[in-house]
Structure 1
Amino acid sequence: MANPKLKTPPQAPPLFTHTPESLISNTEKLLGRSKSLMDSVVRDVTPQTANFKNVLLPFAQDDNEMALESHIIGFYQAVSTDAKLRDASTEAEKKMDDFAIEASMREDVFSLVDAVYKSQKDDQSLDAESRRLLEKDHKGYIRMGLGIPAGPQRDRFKAIKKRLSELSITFQKNLNEEQDGLWFTPKELDGVPDDVLDTLKKGEAGTATEGKLWLTFKYPDLFPTQKYCKNAETRHKVFVANENKCNDNVELFKEAIVLRDEAARLLGYPNHATFRIEDKMAKTPETVDAFLGDLRKRLAPGGLKEIEKLKELKKQETGNADKYFLWDHRFYDTLMLERDYQLDQNRIADYFPLQTSIEGMLNIFEQLFGLVFVQVEGKDRDAISETGKGNDTVWHPDVQMFSIWDDEEAGHGFVGYLYLDLHPRDGKYGHAANFNIQPGFITKEGTRRYPATALVCNFSKPTPKKPSLLKHDEVVTLFHELGHGIHDLVSRTIYSRFHGTSTVRDFVEAPSQMLENWCWTASQIKSLSKHWSYLSPEYAEAYAASAKSGEQRPSETMPDDLINSIISTRHVNDALFNLRQLHFGIFDMTVHEPATHADAEKIDASVTYNSLRHEISKLDGPEALGEGQKWGSGQATFGHLIGGYDAGYYGYLSSQVYSADMFHSVFKKDPMNGKEGRRYRHTVLERGGSQDEMQTLEDFLGRKPSTEAFYEELGVA
């Protein structure tokens, strides 16, 4: 996979040598530099002499340089094991957000930008990306309140923006730092796989927890318990406790939706959703509501049919199926897949060791996009580190680092750095996500600055007896997040503002969602698979020791019957899965488009969240046991709606329209068509947000996108 000649990149990787003190002092230096630049531009340029080159360009170049440090400064709060460093990262991010609010509300700067916009918005001597920057920056100042007359209203708007920044940072910090869980006896966890139970903390002898196991709400504990635990009461307890794990966030979320509504009305919008969606692909809340409503109508009958089948299965198991509960669903969904479709998730996981799955994925991306991935470790890492110490180029010993290059045909050029941080630890971001560490852009000198991007996931750690093994849905998650990473790496924009995944929110998921299709293609599943017992002599020995007498060693790659069982289940209980996504999307729109501000203040987000879930998904919650609708606060555990997907969660569903259209039109016949893969890389991924996303889609498809493939895929065409 690796060409030895490609091991000395033209740009050193970023360093992770910060201390809590240096994070704060570096932040203050960055902000001081930016303020000085703004002050000097305002001093030296008048609205009469203002042009793109002396106003917008210096600011854009400062943004470029600032992003090289600011993304890392904010990244520590998601990944550092040092609580003081996480706290400093949080404090630094708050300082940066406060500065950004102050800077984007400077009337003296806006008067110059406004003058440039009026004189150069149609100037064809500016390249298209620069004209887009001018248009977006100009609109950005207006959306930050500079259309509001100076005085009490504008001051109030600024105070709201600062408070919203605080709320977002605190909310996410609470999620990252959450360490709740429950004690259970092994009997209460009957059915949970041994490889999960073996990793759980054991109660201390002589205490009330003796003989019990501590189950956390982190994914490697939570999901297997919901899927495999035979004890319904345990699943019930875990489900409800997980929905209540961050109750400090309940008030933060409520305050955020009220303040967002007030801010939108100060700007002259009828609600926050109208404000947010205006510059997305959908343009208006009416378009979003119509899309979600139509999809709900199409999916509802299928959801009810799926529930009836699952109830039958529950009745066979328990003798009673009056209700089908939220904590039943993952369990009976898994049981149905095993019984009716012979889908043995644990046997499948044996063929997806984490490391070989990653190697297989990188190999697919190499063939498809003309890339070469070179793992950089040991002395090679020392050699490219600016300090001569390879450990300084990662934030934790578990992190893997790759340098990425174009292949021989494309000239062996350097592309950027990829980091994989794959296992859970205290204080770490708890879901799966891609983080841009440093964006790419064109420097003042006209050279290319290369990006660095990180995948942060929470897959179980390997043990001496078994490697880390992925369920198929985790393989899909890994592919999805790696899709964001590739988007980030191959992007080629002038300005960091538009780099990689910096697109509108209702398009950003489409490239990653499209790549998920490779996880449902027989030839690709085969190429990704390798039975864990073939990884090393030690693992072969461990497998032999655990195998039943006379049991043959499985084949090295996944057998066809197992592959077929995966593919045949792709759309099983699909209506219920998508109704769950609709619940999130419709809840998001409901709380962000109240008729009046008084209505916004009256919203009980927990009741709204729980009642909408029941109405849309038709699954029973504790309210069916007479507990009312205040039994949990799932919105308080939902980082998306506080961290940028507000009035935008619908984008996960609407971008599936685009991803299905791209895959079915271009890749379905031949998923490994390298010519089309490279065309996709250059036409879609390289552009980032540097042009209108609808234009990007039309350039690739050769026509306007269609919903046909999406509805066909869901079986509701």
Structure 2
Amino acid sequence: MAPAQYRKPPQLPPKFTATPASLIEQTKKLIDRSRSVQDVIVKDISAAAANFENVVLPVARDDNKMAIESHIIGFYQAVSTDQKLRDASTEAEQLLDDFGIESSMRQDVFDLVDAVLKKKESLDPESQRLLEKDHKSYIRNGLNVPAGPQRDRFKEIKKRLSELSIAFQKNLNEESGGLWFTIDDLEGVPDDVITTLKKGDGEHEGKVWLTFKYPDLFPTLKYANKAETRKELFIQNENKCNQNVPLFRETVLLRDEAARILGYKNHAEFRIEDKMAKLPKTVDDFLGDLRTSLAPGGKKEVANLLKIKQQDLKERDINDGMNDKYFMWDHRYYDRIMLEKDFSLDQQVIAEYFPLQTTIQGMLKIFEELFGLVFIEIIGEDREALAEGGKGSDIVWHEDVQLFSVWDDEGEGAGFVGYLYLDLFPRDGKYGHAANFNLQPGYIDENGKRRYPATALVCNFSKPTPKKPSLLKHEEVVTLFHELGHGIHDLVSRTTYSRFHGTNTVRDFVEAPSQMLENWCWTPSQLRALSHHYSHLSSDYEAAYKESTGKADAGKPAEKIPNSLITNLINTKHINDALFNLRQLHFGMFDMMVHEPASHEEIEKLDISLTYNKLRKEISQLDGPEALEGYDFTWGNGQATFGHLIGGYDAGYYGYLSSQVYSTDMFFTVFKADPMNGKEGRRYRHTVLEKGGSKEEMQILEDFLGRKPSTESFYKELGITK
């Protein structure tokens, strides 16, 4: 049971008790209420009488209330085990999107907002930003296009784009494919992966079902000794959602058409206008410069890895005629072998020191020390009490979900901060990657009272077994830190309006806070603090560990990860770094290529799959199936699995690389010398994270750094001399 002062948060957590019917009914009520707010404003307020308080504020407050329910309504489709509830969530999201388009194109409301802007009232900075953003949003939604066929076409496109986005993501969430392999096919794959796989019967007797979910996919690509197994898995994974191919194509065509209706040269110009980069040329120059800088390093890394491959095949007496090729499905495998041979780095051994639950506890402790927070897990009686007459299970959406109340420590005032949910294991129908979802934003209500946020981490780590807990590879520790970083941004944000809450920043900044926190996963003292060998968790795990080593009388390993292992791990931080960043560069340049055509005809003629694969080969420098007989560059449809480009990162994927510039600058300038400096951590919390999107992001950076951001640390970290 939680300490007494943490048992009664001032705000109850949301309930997850919706039915398919109630979701739709609730959605329609929200829409009716919101439409009524707008109708009343238009009916009662003239342009002459319009001001911020009677036009913009009522809509902003309605947006606040809408978000409290609408985010959860749409969340069910990413996490529910009930197909009907997921379908209803999808239908509800479509209704909300359609209403959003209707609202964003109301000429009568825009006329009043325009009148307010022209009056130049004296407003607080966040309210002024809200007014300007709202006004610009109406224009970007077509209200500068004369009423008539063109505006009607623009609205039609917006509705269709919404339908495409929802269908695309639904296909990804519902994806349940995989391949049947024999145990022999999977030679080299760790036993704790194979033992969790579904066993075949009938025509598949003696085989196991390997899904495309991360806990199956990545270890197989990393450890399967047979190149044919890795190749088949890689190619099929790139074709796992081929029904999304036409949806992706239609999306980029419609985006381009819509941008041109608004008077932009292309979708990239439209999207980047209100980001930190401002112009596509800035993005193209940045990506082009990076490509030029990284290419030599990538070439060198491929040459080194190819030598390792050739030596490995020679030792295994394999000559398949492909000894001079370094394939995409070779990379995880030989990258791992290089780390093991040259750096004595065994990721399986390192993972033994990072059981999921103790790692989470360690991470939360770091955030407590750094940002002045307290995390209290809500279990048992406390969960029942917060269900307010219902069952404790009502305040989570699945039995695996962990729930925490988050508080300020004494130094920060001991107040309530919000709720954090962790949904960490894969299941059918669940969102397949790792992400942070805002469930309820924070804001100040009409009575001046703070509304507290709720945020969820949705990940797909391997499930525990009777012999082993869920063990995290180091790269998964980094992923968890990254997503929890988004969650912290969401929790500690303090904005007046939900519009600016938490991670509601421009896309080329939003990743920077989380990327900066990844550095703690490469800091010796923090790695050691996070570590806890799983054999120390219970006598059963200790026995299972000894059994796995074949030495029943062997002693337990040290509880904390040895310094020698930490040193080996940190020495690998930049190994094959150029290839990793070239992979990101491929995504970013492909994104720009499909959203920055010189003409609409150009994008109409573009073979998107061919472009995706050809660009991948050119930039990543790795061979794909096109190097084999019987294949060409249309061998796969990776863009059909690229949810980012449909879900908000369109003409914005470069943000992962550009925000790395800001995150590296912040870490090296402020935290490198003393990563656990609580004074600087709190300053970072209040100067950067608290602001959300309520202030110009460049100004937020300058306030924190005391100067304009610099690329120097970024290029230095990559080993590039500028």
Q: Which amino acid aligns with 2:373?
A: L
Alignment partner of 1:601 is 2:604: yes
Match of 2:671 in 1: 667
Quick one: distance in 2 between partners of 1:324 and 1:536?
44
Match in the other structure for 2:504: 502
Tell me what 2:271 maps to.
276
Instruction: Give CA deviations for 1:651-680 in whole Å, capped at 9, x if unaligned.
Output: 000000000000000000000000000000
Match of 1:570 in 2: 573
Q: Does 1:248 align with 2:250?
A: no
Please say if 1:76 is aligned against 2:76.
yes
In the alignment, is the contact (CA less than 8 A) between 1:2 and 1:373 conserved in 2?
Answer: no
What is residue 174 of structure 2 aligned with on the other side? 177
For the residue of structure 2 that corresponds to 1:208, the secondary structure is helix
Q: CA separation in 1, counterparts of 2:369 and 2:7?
A: 20
8 Å contact kept, 2:2–2:378: no
Report the counterpart of residue 89 of structure 2 in structure 1: 89
Aligned to 2:317: none
SS of the residue corresponding to residue 424 of structure 1 reads coil
Paired residue for 1:405?
Answer: 407
What percentage of residue pairs aligned between the two structures are identical?
Answer: 71
Distance 1:153 1:388 in 2: 52
1:633 paired to 2:637? yes
2:318 corresponds in structure 1 to none
**Equivalent position amino acid for 1:554 in 2:** P
In the aligned structure 1, how far is the partner of 2:414 from the partner of 2:263?
Answer: 52
The 5 A counterparts of 1:507-586 are 507-549=509-551, 550-586=553-589
Q: Which residue of 1 is the match for residue 142 of structure 2?
A: 145
Task: Look up the SS of the partner of 1:215 in the other structure.
Answer: strand
- Is the Cα–Cα contact under 8 Å of residues 422 and 455 in structure 1 kept in the other structure? yes
Question: What SS is found at the alignment partner of 1:417?
Answer: strand
Q: Give the deviation of 1:4 after TM superposition.
A: 4.0
Q: Could you tell me which residue of structure 1 aligns to residue 128 of structure 2?
A: 131
Structure 1 residue 7: deviation in Å? Answer: 2.0
Matched, 1:209 2:204: yes
Q: Write the mapping of 1:412-427 to structure 2, written as runs, cut at 5 A.
A: 412-427=414-429
| Structure 2 counterpart SS, 1:454 | strand
Relative to structure 1, the CA distance from residue 536 to residue 126 in structure 2 (aligned partners, 3 Å threshold; closer, same or farther) is same
* 1:716 counterpart residue number: 720
Cα distance in 2 between the residues matched to 1:551 and 1:435:
44
SS at structure 2 position matched to 1:687: coil
The CA distance in 1 between the partners of 2:549 and 2:615, in whole Å, is: 48
Aligned to 1:158: 155
Name the counterpart of 2:232. 237
Matches within 5 A, 1:246-395: 246-319=241-314, 321-395=323-397
CA–CA separation in structure 2 for the residues paired with 1:399 and 1:376: 11
Mapping of residues 613-624 of structure 1, within 5 Å: 613-624=616-627
Q: C-alpha separation between the residues in 1 aligned to 2:497 and 2:151?
A: 30
1:7 and 1:374 in contact (8 A); partners too: no
Report the CA distance between 1:552 and its aligned residue.
3.0
Provide structure 1 residue ranges, at least 5 long, that are not aligned to the other structure.
none
For 2:521 and 2:487, the matched residues in 1 are separated by 17
Tell me the equivalent position of 1:484: 486
The offset of 1:105, in angstroms, is 0.3
Aligned counterparts of 2:495 and 2:549: Cα–Cα separation in 1: 54
- Measured in 1, the distance between the counterparts of 2:562 and 2:467 equals 23
Aligned to 2:319: none
Residue 469 (structure 1) aligns with: 471
Conserved in 2, the CA contact under 8 Å of 1:184 and 1:212?
yes
Write the distance in 1 (CA, Å) between the matches of 2:412 and 2:618: 53
1:71-115 CA distances to partner (integer Å, 9 max, x unpaired)?
000000000000000000000000000000011101001000000
CA distance in 2, matches of 1:412, 1:39: 42
AA aligned to 2:591 is D
Q: Deviations over 1:212-255 (max 9, x none)?
A: 01000000000000000000000000000000000000000000
Equivalent residue runs for 1:94-113 within 5 Å: 94-113=94-113
Q: Deviations over 1:301-321 (max 9, x none)?
A: 000000000000000011363
Which amino acid is the alignment partner of residue 540 of structure 2?
A: E
Cα RMSD over matched residues?
0.9
1:118, distance to aligned residue in structure 2 (A): 1.0
Distance 2:541 2:626 in 1: 48
Alignment partner of 2:204: what SS? coil
User: SS where residue 196 of structure 1 aligns?
Assistant: helix
| Contact 1:499–1:688 under 8 Å retained in 2 | yes
- AA at the equivalent of 1:653: L
Once residues 598 and 504 of structure 1 are traced to their aligned partners in structure 2, the CA distance between those partners, rounded to angstroms, is 30
- Check conservation: 2:370, 2:681, Cα contact below 8 A: yes
**Are the aligned partners of 1:423 and 1:459 in contact in 2 as well (CA < 8 Å)?**
yes
* Letter aligned with residue 510 of structure 2: V
Distance 2:58 2:253 in 1: 36
2:404–2:421 Cα contact (<8 Å) kept: yes
Structure 2 CA distance for aligned equivalents of residues 387 and 264 of structure 1? 51
Larger deviation, residues 626-635 vs 360-369: 626-635
Contact 2:542 2:556 in 1 (8 A): no
Q: Is the 8 A contact 2:669 2:705 kept in 1?
A: yes
For 1:134 and 1:163, the matched residues in 2 are separated by 28
Q: Which moved more, 1:579-588 or 1:2-11?
A: 2-11
Separation (CA, whole Å) in 2 of partners of 1:488 and 1:329: 35
Kept in 2, the 8 Å contact 1:13–1:417? The answer is yes
1:573, CA displacement in angstroms?
A: 0.0
Query: Do 1:312 and 1:321's aligned partners in 2 also have CA atoms closer than 8 Å?
Result: no
Give the C-alpha shift of residue 712 in structure 1: 0.3
Give the whole-Å Cα distance in 2 for the aligned partners of 1:345 and 1:72: 37
| Matched residue, 1:654 | 658
Provide the C-alpha distance between the structure 2 equivalents of 1:24 and 1:272, rounded to a whole number of angstroms.
33
Equivalent residue, structure 1, for 2:194: 197
AA partner of residue 563 (structure 1): I
- How many angstroms does 1:208 deviate by? 1.3
| SS of residue in 1 equivalent to 2:375 | strand
The amino acid that maps onto 2:713 is A
- Give, in whole Å, the separation in 2 of the partners of 1:434 and 1:629: 34
Shift of 1:541: 2.4
Please report how far the alpha carbon of residue 2 of structure 1 lies from its aligned counterpart in structure 2 after TM superposition. Answer: 6.5
Which whole-Å deviations, capped at 9, do the CAs of 1:527-555 have from their partners, x for residues lacking one? 00000011112212222333323533210
Structure 1 position 388, deviation (Å)? 3.6
* Aligned position for 1:610: 613
What's the secondary structure of 1:374's corresponding residue?
A: strand
- Report the TM-score when normalising by structure 1: 0.99
Q: Residue 686 of structure 1 corresponds to which residue in structure 2?
A: 690
| Kept after mapping to 2: 8 A contact 1:2/1:372 | no
Whichever residue aligns with residue 476 of structure 1, its letter is V
Are 2:489 and 2:692, in contact at CA under 8 Å, matched by a contact in 1? yes
- CA offset at residue 3 of structure 1? 4.5
The count of corresponding residues between Structure 1 and Structure 2 is 712
Shift of 1:411: 1.8
